[in-house]
Chains A and B, each alone.
Chain A
Amino acid sequence: MLSIKGFTKHYKNFQIEDVSFEVPDGMVVGLIGENGAGKSTIIKSVLGAVRPDCGQILFNGAEIRKAGKGERQKISFVLDDTGLPMELNLVMLDNVLSCIYDKWDCAKFRSLTQNFALPDKKPIKEFSKGMKMKAAIAVALSYDSKLLILDEPTSGLDPVVRDDILEMIYNYNKDGNRSVLLSSHITSDLEKICDYIVYIHEGRIIFNEEKDELLNKYAIYSIDERQLRELEQGAPVRVLRREYGMEVLAKKDKMPQDFEYKPVTLDDIMLFYSKGEEVC
C-alpha cells in the first residue's frame, strides 16, 4: 500500500540517507528509533508536509507528491501534536472537518467521541493529553481511510489510555483491508501490535524485519572475551561491554545450544545498536 524508496533528506545538522521500506496491505508496520532518528521526518513526508531531497514515496503505486485530495484523504494520521485547532470544541471541529473531508462521517465522529467520553462543548485546549490524542484518533477514524499513520501516539500517556489506543488501532486493522504505520519509541506498544519492525538509527535503516522473527531469531548472551572469540562467524551481531562484563546480541540458531540466553526485546535491540559495537 505504501512504498518508500531511497528516501533521502539533508538538514543542516542531520541527514536521512536512502531509507526504503514498505507497508503491505493489511499489515501494521512499526517504526522505531531514538528521538531525532528521522521517523517523524519520514512520516511528515508521506503526509506532504516535508519534501524529500531524493527518493520516491508511492501510495497505491502512484507518487504521493502528485496525489490529489481524493488520494490524500485515503490516508489518516495522528501526529504527536495533533494539529487540531485548540480553541474549538468538538461540535465546531465536526462542522469544520465535514467541509474539509469529502467522506467525513459525522455520525461516526460523534459516536467515537462519545465512546471515548470526550466532552462536546469544551474547547480542545482544556482536554488532557490523553483526551487530545483520543480526539485526534476519532478524527482519523471518521473519514474512511485505507492507511493510518501515527507518530508517537502514546508518548506521555498512562498505560490504560495506551491500551485503549492500541485497541483502536487493532480495530482499524481488524478486517485486513487497511494498513497502519506506527512510529514510537515506546517499544512495548510496538511489540504488542506490529507485524513488521523498521529500525531507523541516525538517519539510516538498520533493519526491516517481521516482528516475531526478529524477537525469536535473536537472544542476549552473557559471555566473556574468550568465548566471544570462539563463536561462529556471523552468530554474534552486536556486543555491549559493561562494567561488570559483556553481553552479545546473537542469532540463536548459530550459537552453541548449551549457552544460556535471555529473550530479546525491542528495547534491547535498540540499546545494542546505539550503545553497543559491531562484532568484527
Chain B
Amino acid sequence: MLGLLLKDIYNIRKQAIWYIAMIVLFCGISVVLKNVAFASTIGILVTISMPLTAIAYEEKDGWQKFVIASGTNVKTIVGEKYLLGVIFALISIIGYSVAFMVVGAEEDRLVEFTAPVCMQLLVLAVVLPLVFKFGVEKGRVYMIIAVVLLMAVLIAVLPVLGNMQEGANVFIGCMAAITVIALCVSFLVSFKIYSKKEF
C-alpha cells in the first residue's frame, strides 16, 4: 500500500497544497468570524477531492491495469484510496480542532465537534463506491451533490447541536457508530465493484 500511496501523493501534490491552503484559509475565516461553520465544512470537500483526483490520474494513465498486473490485491488497491481520504480528513480535522478551540470550546460542545468529523468520513463512504462504479467523470457529479448536501445539512444542524444538552453522548455514540458502519459497508461495496471491473 505504501507504493500506491506514494504514487498518489506524487500525482496530487500540487492540488494537495492548494487544498491544505484552503483548509488553513477557512479555519482562519472561522476564527476571525467566530463561526466554526467554515472550518467544519471545508473538510468535507477536501476529504473526497483528494482520492477522486488521484483516481482521475489513474484513469488517464491507464495505471489500473498496470497495478492489477503487478499482483497487488484489490483489497490493497481499494483500501489505499480510503486511506488517502482519511489522511486528508485528519488534516482537516486538525485545522478544525484549532479553529474550534480558538473560537471557544466547552465540554458539552463535543457534539458540535463530532458532527463534521463524521460528515467528512461519511462523504468518503458515500462517494467512493460511486466513483469506483461509474468512473471519475460521473463521480465528480455525485461528489458535488454529496458535498453540497452534507455541507448544507451540517450548517443547518450545527446551531441545533450546539444547544443540545441531554442525549448528547448518545448522539455522539450514534454518529460514530453510523460512520464506522458506513465506512465498512462502503469498503465492502467498493471491493466488490472493483473486483468485477475489467480494464
Partner-B contacts on A (CB < 8 A): 44, 47-51, 67-73, 75, 77, 79, 81-88, 92, 95-101
Are A88 and B11 neighbours in the complex by a CB distance under 8 Å?
yes
Measured in the bound complex, the distance between the Cα atoms of B28 and A124 in whole Å is: 38
Shortest C-beta distance, B172 to chain A (Å), equals 38
14 contacts between A and B (CB under 8 A): A47-B69, A49-B64, A50-B198, A69-B71, A71-B71, A81-B62, A83-B62, A83-B64, A85-B61, A87-B11, A92-B7, A96-B4, A96-B7, A99-B3
Which residue, B7, B60, B68, has most C-beta atoms of chain A within 10 A?
A: B7
Are A88 and B60 neighbours in the complex by a CB distance under 8 Å?
no
- Residues in B with CB closer than 8 Å to A99 are 2-3, 6
**Given known A-B contacts A82-B62, A83-B63, A96 and B71 have beta carbons under 8 A apart:** no
With beta carbons under 8 angstroms apart, the residue of A44, A84, A95, A98 that contacts B61 is: A84
Closest-by-CB residue of A relative to B3 is A99
Are B3 and A100 neighbours in the complex by a CB distance under 8 Å?
yes
- Residues in A with CB closer than 8 Å to B7 are 85, 88, 92, 96
Closest-by-CB residue of B relative to A81 is B62
Shortest C-beta distance, B156 to chain A (Å), equals 39
How many A-B contacts if CB must be within 8 Å? 84
With beta carbons under 8 angstroms apart, the residue of B66, B68, B73 that contacts A84 is: B66
**Given known A-B contacts A51-B198, A77-B69, A87-B11, A96 and B6 have beta carbons under 8 A apart:** yes
- Residues in A with CB closer than 8 Å to B58 are 85
Q: Does B103 contact A (CB under 8 A)?
A: no
Are B4 and A100 neighbours in the complex by a CB distance under 8 Å?
yes
Are A95 and B71 neighbours in the complex by a CB distance under 8 Å?
no
With beta carbons under 8 angstroms apart, the residue of B62, B64, B65, B71 that contacts A67 is: B71
Measured in the bound complex, the distance between the Cα atoms of B122 and A32 in whole Å is: 50
CB proximity to A under 8 Å, residues B44-88: 57-58, 60-73
Beyond contacts A47-B69, A50-B198, A96-B6: 13 other A-B pairs, Cβ-Cβ < 8 A, are: A47-B68, A48-B71, A68-B71, A69-B73, A72-B69, A72-B70, A73-B71, A79-B62, A85-B11, A85-B57, A88-B7, A95-B6, A100-B72
- Number of B residues with CB within 8 Å of any CB on chain A: 25
With beta carbons under 8 angstroms apart, the residue of B2, B3, B68 that contacts A49 is: B68
Closest-by-CB residue of A relative to B70 is A100
- Residues in A with CB closer than 8 Å to B60 are 86
Measured in the bound complex, the distance between the Cα atoms of B199 and A29 in whole Å is: 24
Partner-A contacts on B (CB < 8 A): 2-4, 6-7, 10-11, 57-58, 60-73, 198-199
Shortest C-beta distance, B68 to chain A (Å), equals 5
Are B66 and A79 neighbours in the complex by a CB distance under 8 Å?
yes
Measured in the bound complex, the distance between the Cα atoms of B60 and A86 in whole Å is: 9
Measured in the bound complex, the distance between the Cα atoms of B66 and A44 in whole Å is: 10
Shortest C-beta distance, B10 to chain A (Å), equals 5
Measured in the bound complex, the distance between the Cα atoms of B69 and A241 in whole Å is: 44
> Can you list the 8 inter-chain pairs with the closest CB atoms, starting with the nearest?
A72-B71, A99-B3, A83-B66, A69-B71, A47-B69, A49-B65, A100-B3, A49-B199
Measured in the bound complex, the distance between the Cα atoms of B195 and A48 in whole Å is: 11
With beta carbons under 8 angstroms apart, the residue of B4, B6, B10, B65 that contacts A47 is: B65
- Residues in A with CB closer than 8 Å to B6 are 92, 95-96, 99
- Residues in A with CB closer than 8 Å to B68 are 47-49
Are B71 and A49 neighbours in the complex by a CB distance under 8 Å?
no
- Residues in B with CB closer than 8 Å to A67 are 71
Shortest C-beta distance, B65 to chain A (Å), equals 4
Shortest C-beta distance, A36 to chain B (Å), equals 17
- Residues in B with CB closer than 8 Å to A88 are 7, 10-11
Shortest C-beta distance, B74 to chain A (Å), equals 10
- Residues in B with CB closer than 8 Å to A86 are 57, 60-61
Are A44 and B3 neighbours in the complex by a CB distance under 8 Å?
no
Closest-by-CB residue of A relative to B73 is A69
Measured in the bound complex, the distance between the Cα atoms of B58 and A260 in whole Å is: 56
**Given known A-B contacts A85-B11, A86-B61, A49 and B198 have beta carbons under 8 A apart:** yes
Are A44 and B57 neighbours in the complex by a CB distance under 8 Å?
no
Shortest C-beta distance, A140 to chain B (Å), equals 10
Shortest C-beta distance, B149 to chain A (Å), equals 32
Measured in the bound complex, the distance between the Cα atoms of B65 and A44 in whole Å is: 8
Shortest C-beta distance, A187 to chain B (Å), equals 25
Measured in the bound complex, the distance between the Cα atoms of B192 and A113 in whole Å is: 38
- Residues in B with CB closer than 8 Å to A87 are 10-11, 57
